[in-house]
Structure 1
């Protein structure tokens, strides 16, 4: 049928069959990709548009609703070149990171702003009002604080046309707030086919030969051993003219399989007679890695992998702990902690568009955290010369570690394009994203911390962690205990317990938040037993001068000074304050190279890296602009493309991106300025200079580059202080305030760095209180496969956040600073756990701290207090 409508004030005639959603028509037939499809179930708000001035969810609204209606998408919010005050405010206050959810936020915030200003003038709405107005929107990057600031400022009139101080903090913010930023999910090519993956709906099986019906283009991707080991594992990929047809063909594909016994519970996997996930020695070598590197050599025993051999001091630590246990020493803290798998949940799903129409040149658009790394991996996988491969990721809608490797959307799309010599597009849906793309592995950690009864010095530390990353191995959680609270005998043992569950993968600060949840609560318990200030005790043990500075800062906070005595609260609502510390290794990509040139009188900085919301474009622009004394907005940054002629750029992972890019860009810009001068008007067009980052003096442990990484000397540091309110009637925990102290040296883009740290806290709240991937024990299928069942923090869950940067201690590093994405993530969840203990006297050992767990814990604690 034909529908007459108006879209962004232009009359349009659209053709629909009657089954399409509004977002399908807007993105597809109308070619307005600014409106994003994320959840498909009306939970996230990314697809919000205005229909006759009212916000509606495009994924739930039938396209027929457009008939004779006025539709406004994010592309139509601005008045020509003049941005709406809300768009200017989002850009100024950095109310965005990756930008994938931003169009939906902007459209709904515009509607709220216009109503508010019409009714209340420039009165500022409070946080609760803004949270209620935008309650239907989610941001996985955790940009909520910037959004609060932006909406409040816009309503105050501070970003009206002609208002002063309209600077843009993030150079790509204008593209993101207007819907102009192009992501892989927005790429369409003439003659493009659509692909879908046929996945296993059983957790273990032997699969026969997959036969494709006549006329169906498909590839079998299972592998030589013909075994399925988890529900959701890819078996085959098919292509069709439409996405709906591809999904139907995949669903109806005849896959001969014989189900096998399986196990998804880690405790069951270790029991005698449990089904073996990897029965043969050869199969174990093919187990995927849940870490950024490969798994360390370790013995196998059934479904148990590890631990590696322990050092001598570990034997001493064990002996001291055993002696103290026999003697019943008060200073021996022994606790066991558990964590649930946390899913990355990037809002741009894994997506790939592959075009192998030219047999000599493969073009790939990929949502990835490493365009250069993926160019090399794709070339290796398909036996190509890397110069024949081009990978593009102009904008990336989040990754958090899940997009560092070559995964099935790329392999499938490229394979089908090779068969058909046509472009092929493969985009995962939200169910697949929450099932098959990785997770922060769950764990069980036993900590034995021995403290001297008289001096409270550490005498020994033993940490044992069983990680469960499904079919993956290579987790390092306990090992991170070797890097903190120095000068004591210690033993750290990591074991992988494999199950028939989806594979884990690196997740922002791999192993760090999991380790801190156990270790930092154990330290807090030791302080409680001896009546010591938890910050003071950490300062006694901790020789890191950067963290010592953060301890002094934290002790001066009124939030800390006014904390209640542990368990002293009464009544329904009980307030508590907790602290936790974190650190991270310093990583750098010494081969990173940046080219700075002048074209048409404008500076250009180029490298084969990408920006997934962390601000790489802005970092490069600020580095070059600082050398020439110009505004960063006047520097053109070429990112997100890797081909035979580009320089090497770092992947976005391991907190190595900014530290690698900044000094290379400064050196290249300085070389160009010294050669041609700072007057750009007199610089010949095409003049350029390049610089390579190189390693630092004192680089340790890795004398050569491995996977684009060298390990530097020293650790970054973090301390988080959290205040919570516990409702003892419902079991709900509300985080009221978080102070984050971060010591990474010089901050190259302060506003964006603050956004990163605020987002880390939001993700820490999710880990502590909400997030939990749940599998059906009877089938192995993922039950939390949508954003209703898999709960992430919302605007209303956002506490007041205060970020403090300690910028000293890294002067020896080129640029004076190191990365912060990982260290800022390590300790927020643990600080919340300690705050709950301070509020209630009951220590949460299992995360997430669900209301039912908290209420049961309070009941158990009350009974133990009565019998004590």
Structure 2
């Protein structure tokens, strides 16, 4: 029997020639810090050292490690933290943390080589980027990673002490953090899902018996409740077996017979009058939901649902004024059609669930953005008592909107666990993640913008058709309601349903495609009016938060010093764009702050998907008690705790911080009331002494309404939207348990690019992002969130595209080698400016960051490209071939 030495221990290797090194490390040895993500050697999450050299363990046969020394992340700094680990902690060079172990292993090896040959010289960004180019971070933690690796190589973290702004940072840099895919119970089975091979068909026969008969198969469950499948990948059944190989063999044994039905694939085909209908009237309730809120009624015609013209104002005037301007040939009328591509969430931790019954009690570990709501959904679907269901998500490897509700992976895991009477794990593979796990719908957005002769905004028309697949409830055009007041607006949204997997909410749903279109139209209007683009926005947009950001942006050197009319192969341009998101918070949220055993414990049933919720709570409590954050125990990620918010809509901080502060006030009073001995005079830590002597006390507070607005000009977005806004607000409460608060979180971005006019390549040089989101609760983590949002926006603008077979409906973008997300070398210098005014009516003064920071990125890039080459790109991703075609078109014209 062959062996390897891993982290200093000799371990046997399996005889199976198909076994990979990652299988041995994760499954046999339970060293779960090493993560399986792409399975193709693209993302770097599975990196280990073999005889000191970094390798992708997802590609290396286990037998190839025979006689070699292997080091996983658990062996990096096992005796004491490596300088790279400390630097990652200090610079918050991580968010969800799922990719972090792979980065740590590679960066530690690079740092050791660098120090051995170059001492404490500082490596350049290019050298660091080249060393880590085989690693991906969907959260976009690259800015911190650059700084961390540079400082570690320079010897700045050779000491023993490190202060980390993120309280779970140590667990993430050492591989100790446990995610749903890492959970392993005794006797646990592996579940897989049988999915439709047809885009539209009726199942005429389904025989599960051959799967049940196979050795190692413990359970088979039917998932389909309708004999009609409407997209490739729609779930039909699930199998649980002793291992994944056996489960896949069982899937292959299931016999399915289809009667193929006419299918329609994509946005253009779905709008045709003679297109096959995806959902007839009786089946429309089966459509998925691409929104974070419940949708209202809207007319259907064939596969087109809409218009949802809920945010129009004097729409008739818009049409007549635009028609008059068109007929008159007005040079001020801006009309264009913009197209945005499909953006996949590409969470590095796949959608996963582990279900286990103990008697009549069910525990589900889930990669979820809303553990409390998921518990409620499970109890309702499976007719279980709420107090007998528990959902746990200790750490979540990204979500971005795709893990906000009960997914098929959770349903399948529970069904199989109940049938097999054993724990079952269901985890999507990367093809499932890139096909059926949700996406930001592509869209066609038509804009007509008409300034008046005096330079005010007279009319704005936005009509959006979203490519939602087997789903509805998109809002793109409607989001233009709350920016740039005009004399008249006509805003219409349409869902175009087709036989594709359903889209879902994605970070600021509807915001980026709306901004890509509207912000380019505003930029074009500024050009025609011969007005500075920031000055025009400042003129048209009275929002006080954005007014301050416009002043900040106008003062940037990169904006003041931009040059027009460049020539040559490489041309630089600077662009600006504005974005906003709603200030959302969730009612009924409860936070308990308690003294137990002389220690402060804060608890709420929310979860941390990388946004830093643990640290936000710990920092708030620590500040109030004059303690350090690491002295506060924060309990989250468990549905048995007091009701907490979902991680969506940038609402967590605004939902948990106010009740936390209220609970702290009451707990302080209770501690002082029962204290028998007051702190000694002159003590520099009176609360530490009082807490140490205090009896156990617990105080729970509920998130209440905000106080009266005190900032001038702060209004509720719904109040601005009139009667329809009131209806929209009611729907948000009724269907999503979300409140839209007063004030508008806002962002302004200024981006500089360089365009290679020969090859069409765009290099983003620097990004300046200004954010008005109230008081920043955790500055280092807020900076990380802002940078990550920008990087996702750059991916949306320049790289990310899903490819489809237009006939079969298959998603051809099957892996991360096909779907291009930004890497570390794509990361520009990012300057983040926080404007902390504007939300003093909110207890704690803090609102969310994640959504608002990504909305203006794609139009700012497009505007910068136009500034560089004089051509406006109206379709994203802005690929090199599109730039070359646009330049040729201009030359030909």
TM range (shorter): over 0.9
Does the 8 Å CA contact 2:294/2:735 hold for their aligned counterparts? no
Counterpart for residue 783 of structure 1 = 812
1:611 aligns with 2:640: no
Task: Please state whether the residue corresponding to 1:563 is helix, strand or coil.
Answer: coil
Does the 8 Å CA contact 2:309/2:490 hold for their aligned counterparts? no
Counterpart for residue 388 of structure 2 = 388
CA–CA distance in structure 2, aligned partners of residues 290 and 223 of structure 1:
21
CA–CA distance in structure 1, aligned partners of residues 258 and 614 of structure 2:
48
Counterpart for residue 317 of structure 2 = 316
Dislocated runs of 4+, deviation >3 Å = 309-312, 680-685, 697-706
CA–CA distance in structure 1, aligned partners of residues 153 and 15 of structure 2:
38
CA–CA distance in structure 1, aligned partners of residues 128 and 549 of structure 2:
32
**Residues 537-595 of structure 1, C-alpha deviations (whole Å, 9 max, x = no match):** 00000111110110010011111111122xx1211111011000011111111211111
Change (3 A) 1:62 1:306: same
Task: Please state whether the residue corresponding to 1:377 is helix, strand or coil.
Answer: helix
* Unmatched 5+ stretches in structure 1: none
Does the 8 Å CA contact 2:309/2:493 hold for their aligned counterparts? no
Quote the offset at 1:487 in angstroms. 4.4
CA–CA distance in structure 2, aligned partners of residues 312 and 649 of structure 1:
37
Change (3 A) 1:681 1:529: closer
1:656 aligns with 2:651: yes
The residue correspondences of 1:290-305 to structure 2 (distance < 5 A) are 290-305=290-305
Does the 8 Å CA contact 2:76/2:82 hold for their aligned counterparts? yes
Task: Please state whether the residue corresponding to 2:508 is helix, strand or coil.
Answer: coil
Of 190, 199, 207, 2:195 maps to 199
CA–CA distance in structure 2, aligned partners of residues 37 and 313 of structure 1:
54
**Residues 208-244 of structure 1, C-alpha deviations (whole Å, 9 max, x = no match):** 34221243521121223x1111111111111111111
Counterpart for residue 335 of structure 2 = 334
Does the 8 Å CA contact 1:210/1:256 hold for their aligned counterparts? yes
Counterpart for residue 223 of structure 1 = 225
Does the 8 Å CA contact 2:460/2:486 hold for their aligned counterparts? no
CA–CA distance in structure 2, aligned partners of residues 241 and 472 of structure 1:
35
Counterpart for residue 642 of structure 1 = 639
Quote the offset at 1:824 in angstroms. 0.6
Counterpart for residue 834 of structure 2 = 805
Does the 8 Å CA contact 2:13/2:66 hold for their aligned counterparts? no
Quote the offset at 1:18 in angstroms. 1.8
Quote the offset at 1:303 in angstroms. 1.0
1:569 aligns with 2:566: yes
CA–CA distance in structure 2, aligned partners of residues 459 and 682 of structure 1:
65
State TM-score, norm by structure 1: 0.97
Of 665, 669, 673, 2:664 maps to 669
CA–CA distance in structure 1, aligned partners of residues 262 and 290 of structure 2:
24
CA–CA distance in structure 1, aligned partners of residues 12 and 420 of structure 2:
33
Does the 8 Å CA contact 2:591/2:700 hold for their aligned counterparts? yes
Quote the offset at 1:861 in angstroms. 1.4
**Residues 150-174 of structure 1, C-alpha deviations (whole Å, 9 max, x = no match):** 0001011111124x6x211100000
Of 866, 870, 874, 1:841 maps to 870
CA–CA distance in structure 2, aligned partners of residues 367 and 488 of structure 1:
46
Task: Please state whether the residue corresponding to 1:540 is helix, strand or coil.
Answer: helix
1:601 aligns with 2:598: yes
* Unmatched 5+ stretches in structure 2: 673-686, 709-715, 719-725
Change (3 A) 1:661 1:683: farther
The residue correspondences of 1:21-36 to structure 2 (distance < 5 A) are 21-36=20-35
Counterpart for residue 140 of structure 2 = 142
The residue correspondences of 1:37-186 to structure 2 (distance < 5 A) are 37-80=36-79, 82-162=80-160, 166-186=162-182
Change (3 A) 1:590 1:102: same
**Residues 67-126 of structure 1, C-alpha deviations (whole Å, 9 max, x = no match):** 11111000010142x211000000000100000000000000000000000111110000
| Aligned residue-pair number | 852
CA–CA distance in structure 1, aligned partners of residues 382 and 838 of structure 2:
46
**Residues 250-303 of structure 1, C-alpha deviations (whole Å, 9 max, x = no match):** 13311121121211131122223222111x201122211111122221111111
Counterpart for residue 708 of structure 1 = 737
Quote the offset at 1:186 in angstroms. 0.1
Quote the offset at 1:603 in angstroms. 1.3
CA–CA distance in structure 2, aligned partners of residues 831 and 351 of structure 1:
36
Does the 8 Å CA contact 1:3/1:66 hold for their aligned counterparts? no
1:552 aligns with 2:551: yes
CA–CA distance in structure 2, aligned partners of residues 733 and 231 of structure 1:
35
CA–CA distance in structure 1, aligned partners of residues 590 and 48 of structure 2:
42
Counterpart for residue 626 of structure 1 = 623
Quote the offset at 1:375 in angstroms. 0.2
The residue correspondences of 1:466-477 to structure 2 (distance < 5 A) are 466-477=465-476
The residue correspondences of 1:517-536 to structure 2 (distance < 5 A) are 517-536=516-535
Quote the offset at 1:205 in angstroms. 0.8
Counterpart for residue 584 of structure 2 = 587
Counterpart for residue 858 of structure 1 = 887
CA–CA distance in structure 1, aligned partners of residues 470 and 814 of structure 2:
19
CA–CA distance in structure 2, aligned partners of residues 312 and 292 of structure 1:
24
CA–CA distance in structure 1, aligned partners of residues 258 and 190 of structure 2:
26
CA–CA distance in structure 1, aligned partners of residues 220 and 428 of structure 2:
17
State TM-score, norm by structure 2: 0.94
Task: Please state whether the residue corresponding to 1:714 is helix, strand or coil.
Answer: coil
Of 823, 830, 835, 2:852 maps to 823
**Residues 820-854 of structure 1, C-alpha deviations (whole Å, 9 max, x = no match):** 11111110111001001000110000000011111
Does the 8 Å CA contact 1:222/1:235 hold for their aligned counterparts? yes
**Residues 481-524 of structure 1, C-alpha deviations (whole Å, 9 max, x = no match):** 11101243101000011111111000000000010000000000
Counterpart for residue 430 of structure 2 = 430
Counterpart for residue 245 of structure 2 = 244
Does the 8 Å CA contact 1:650/1:708 hold for their aligned counterparts? no
